[in-house]
Structures are given as C-alpha cells and as structure tokens.
Amino acid sequence: ADLTVVTVDPGDDVILPCQAAGSSIRAVKWTKRDLKPTDNVLLYRDGHLETDDQNPSFKDRVELVDRDLEDGDVSLKLMNVNRHDAGIYECRVASGDSFRFIRILRLQVPEPAGEVHFSAMNLDFTVVKNKITPYSNMFR
C-alpha cells in the first residue's frame, strides 16, 4: 500500500480518506502509530462510536465522514488539528470478527509562520515575519 501524505494547518479540520471494499462493514478502527496499541483514534462498531479505548487527545475531535459507511467510505474527519496530531494513521475495517488493514496515511502539520524555532551552535533564533533575529549577538 502506498503511503498517502495529507498536510493540514494547525486549527483546521482535515479528512483522512479511506475506502474499503465490501458492503457488510460492521466496524471501523483508526489508529495512530505513536499511541499505545490499546488506544484508538476512533472505533465505530455496530452503528455507534465506542469511546472506552479512545485516546483522550482525540475525544470529541474525530468522526466518520459517513456514518452509514456508504459505498465503503470509512474516511476520518479530524477537527481542530494541532501539531501533536502529526504522524502515521492506519485505517482498518471489520466485516466479521477480525479487523483487516486497509490504508496507511501520514498527517503533516507544518509549524505556523512566525513561530519557527531552531537552534544552531547553541544559539537560539526566532523567525518573525521572515526576519531572523538572534537572541544574543555573539559576534560583537
């Protein structure tokens, strides 16, 4: 499976697309690689969201684009994205008892302009509106 890259700015909503073949989807599970294996981004089973094993950072911020799972559309909508949401997401569906892997996506969340921090030679710089201002001038 190819790795699809989705880029979204902080504060925006994003749809992570996932399409599953087969009409009898009973459950949809979205996970994120850097979470505990027991933590879900979203688990939708038999017509409702199950939040018991949902990672708290995704509470009330995720939903399925189509709860009817029309035509196998199991895409995830993630609202009010922050930079901690960046990472690798995996989409799985279950028709019977076991989940099958469908798709893997990478979510990129670029730093907002004017808040880029980087350091070189232990010298901190802040980039503000494209001007670079050193915190300390060591070249006096």
User: What pLDDT sits at residue 123?
Assistant: 47
Q: Residue 98's pLDDT band (boundaries 50, 70, 90)?
A: very high
The answer on 78 and 23 residing in a single domain is yes
User: What pLDDT sits at residue 137?
Assistant: 47
Query: How far are the Cα atoms of 8, 10, 81, 120, 127 from residue 111, in angstroms, in the given order?
Result: 10, 8, 12, 18, 12
User: What pLDDT sits at residue 116?
Assistant: 54
pTM of the predicted model as reported, rounded to 2 decimal places: 0.78
Query: How far are the Cα atoms of 40, 45, 53, 82, 129 from residue 116, in angstroms, in the given order?
Result: 30, 41, 34, 15, 10
The answer on 52 and 82 residing in a single domain is yes
CATH number of the domain that 34 lies in? 2.60.40.10
In the chain, the number of structural domains is 2
Q: Residue 138's pLDDT band (boundaries 50, 70, 90)?
A: very low
Q: Are 116 and 127 in contact (CB under 8 A)?
A: yes
